[in-house]
């Protein structure tokens, strides 16, 4: 019953995307009041919790440890790339992502070392967001999500769908811990480490973007929406033309 409910929620989210994504625009319009209020909430959450945690994590670790943690979480995203490359019709890339996951999960010590990359299987991350783009689903308006930050309806649906491909999620569901709290404390604890690791990587970038900014909300929104163009659409994917920008909001997640 629990799994049925989860899939039902996913179906509702995808249905929501079909309605809201039709508004193909980078102007949040009527959403701006909500977005700015949520941006302020997220800023306070970041200032009081996430940023101090990220700084503390950086202080008690070194570059080698942080790189191992980064590679571990990047490896967990390979199954989503396997599925979505296939959905996009890229069978060869799907196979390469599958090979990377198998090699790095074993010889790479649970993905903490990118052995496959050294053997010529370079990382080529993708996700359901890009799959939807390839299927001509429009992006929709800019929206600020609580805790998660900048997004669009299509990006939100893509992230939710990719979460179902997380091997830790499935392993956690079928692991016989003695008590439920042990099962879920492991899963959510690992997820929390992933968010802290990601926030630590962006400490310098976000400080540089927002320090002394007259309107940090508008700056973040502009950078995020310009970076969205790197994903392309069904037309640009077919033509092999995807604009390139120097902002790293979306591909922070895709490159994991």
pLDDT at res. 189:
86
High-pLDDT (> 90) share of the chain, %: 62
> Within 10 Å of residue 190's Cβ, how many Cβ atoms?
15
Arithmetic mean of pLDDT, 6-30: 51
User: Residue 187: pLDDT band by 50, 70, 90 thresholds?
Assistant: confident
**pLDDT beyond 90 at 220:** yes
- b/e sequence 123-141, b meaning 16+ C-beta within 10 Å: bbbbbbbbbbbbeebbbbb
User: Residue 26: pLDDT band by 50, 70, 90 thresholds?
Assistant: very low
Nearest to 125 by CA among 62, 50, 70, 189: 70
Nearest to 33 by CA among 117, 116, 108, 144: 144
pLDDT at res. 245:
36
Which residue has tokens 């790479």?
Answer: 108
Arithmetic mean of pLDDT, 176-204: 81
**pLDDT beyond 80 at 246:** no
Gap between the Cα atoms of 198 and 50, Å rounded = 10
Which residue has tokens 């200032």?
Answer: 47
Nearest to 131 by CA among 6, 9, 17, 234: 234
**pLDDT beyond 90 at 120:** yes
pLDDT tens per residue, range 161-170: 999 898 887 7
Arithmetic mean of pLDDT, 201-217: 88
**CA 47 remoteness from chain centre:** 21
**pLDDT beyond 70 at 1:** no
- Which of 121-130, 163-172, 176-185, 212-221 has the highest average model confidence (pLDDT)? 121-130
Torsion of CA 52, 57, 62, 63, to 10 degrees: -80
Specify the number of domains making up the chain.
Answer: 1
**pLDDT beyond 70 at 253:** no
Domain that holds residue 168: 2-254
pLDDT tens per residue, range 138-163: 999 999 999 999 999 999 999 999 99
Q: How much is the mean pLDDT over the chain? A: 82
| Residue 221: HSE in the Cβ half-sphere, 13 Å Cα cutoff | 20
pLDDT tens per residue, range 44-102: 999 999 999 999 999 999 999 999 999 999 999 999 999 999 999 999 999 999 999 99
Arithmetic mean of pLDDT, 217-224: 93
* Higher-scoring residue by pLDDT: 54, 8: 54
Gap between the Cα atoms of 147 and 138, Å rounded = 24
Gap between the Cα atoms of 121 and 108, Å rounded = 13
pLDDT at res. 182:
62
**pLDDT beyond 80 at 23:** no
**pLDDT beyond 70 at 232:** yes
Report angle CA 189, 193, 194 to the nearest 5 degrees: 115
pLDDT at res. 209:
82
């Amino acid at each position: 019953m629990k799994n049925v409910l989860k899939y039902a929620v996913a179906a509702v989210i995808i249905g929501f995307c079909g309605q809201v994504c039709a508004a193909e625009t980078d102007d949040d319009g009527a959403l701006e009041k909500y977005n700015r209020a949520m941006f302020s909430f997220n800023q306070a959450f970041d200032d009081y919790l996430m940023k101090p945690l990220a700084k503390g994590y950086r202080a008690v670790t070194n570059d080698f440890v942080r790189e191992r943690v980064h590679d571990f979480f990047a490896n967990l995203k390979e199954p989503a790339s396997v599925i979505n490359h296939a959905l996009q019709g890229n069978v060869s890339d799907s196979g390469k992502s599958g090979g990377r996951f198998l090699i790095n999960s074993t010889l790479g010590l649970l993905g903490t070392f990118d052995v496959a990359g050294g053997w010529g299987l370079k990382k080529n991350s993708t996700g359901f967001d890009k799959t939807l783009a390839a299927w001509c689903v429009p992006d929709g308006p800019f929206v600020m999500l609580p805790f998660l930050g900048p997004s669009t309806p299509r990006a939100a649906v893509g992230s939710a769908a990719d979460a179902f491909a997380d091997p830790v999620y499935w392993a956690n569901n079928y692991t016989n811990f003695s008590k439920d709290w042990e099962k879920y404390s492991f899963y959510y604890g690992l997820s929390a480490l992933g968010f802290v690791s990601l926030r630590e990587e962006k400490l310098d970038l976000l400080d540089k973007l927002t320090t002394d900014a007259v309107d940090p909300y508008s700056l973040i929104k502009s950078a995020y929406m310009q970076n969205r163009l790197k994903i392309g659409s069904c037309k640009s994917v077919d033509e092999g033309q995807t604009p390139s920008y120097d902002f790293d909001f979306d591909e922070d997640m895709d490159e994991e």
